[in-house]
Structure 1
């Protein structure tokens, strides 16, 4: 993607009056960038995290993702123009959080990685819905 195109996407994301399709593409590009960054960090951490099969970590994973979900929902309701960006950022944080816990709970804990991708996808969808709601107005 050319630097000017990326700059145009970022400007469209910041402008509530911009084309909704362009804003949605910009939000997806932002989300994929964050997901790639967090995935790269997980790859770098993987050799250094020891396996720690401690079952209460699964409870921590569930509680942590539930808390991030509540934060994203709150951001979409209260932070009008930037709520979708916050929600997508929290989705990437959920992926990273579940990824780290999955690496700790290896080998069976690696099943948390697809769950983290699903959480990210859900947060991205909620962010897109927030963009559409903001485009329609109050």
Structure 2
């Protein structure tokens, strides 16, 4: 039953004329899958990343997040059917990026992990808005 359910969600996500609530749910499942995958990779990397208290890494985090945000906005505007998927993928990438930098800057840099979750949530919301805009435009 679970593979059929997931297959139905993915088909609804690919079909712009499917039920908007089902498409939104599918986007959330896709985003949570990516977030869980990236979180598992962070857990696996944590013991191997050295502590590197190098303050310019915080500047790199800010620049990287600004660039990812611009990429997500651009994808939502230009990549018509796949823009929301790209934005959610970039949100998961932002979580991973900030997570790695947070692990390098630990113990104080660990505050970047909740910021990464916030960035993922923001990109997921933007992706959902992009889904809604795509259904209204049809």
State the superposition RMSD in angstroms. Answer: 0.8
Match of 1:73 in 2: 73
Give 5+ residue unaligned stretches, structure 2: none
Deviations 1:76-127 (A, max 9, x none): 0000000000000000000000000000000000000000000000000000
The runs of 4+ residues in structure 1 deviating greater than 3 Å are: none
Tell me by how many angstroms 1:50 deviates: 0.2
Match of 2:101 in 1: 101
Q: Distance in 1 between matches of 2:37 and 2:136?
A: 32
SS of 1:27 mapped into structure 2: helix
Match of 2:135 in 1: 135
Tell me by how many angstroms 1:20 deviates: 0.2
Match of 1:15 in 2: 15
Q: Distance in 1 between matches of 2:21 and 2:10?
A: 13
Q: TM-score when scaled to structure 2?
A: 0.99
Match of 1:60 in 2: 60
Q: Distance in 1 between matches of 2:135 and 2:46?
A: 41
Q: Distance in 1 between matches of 2:51 and 2:87?
A: 30
| Matched residues, number | 138
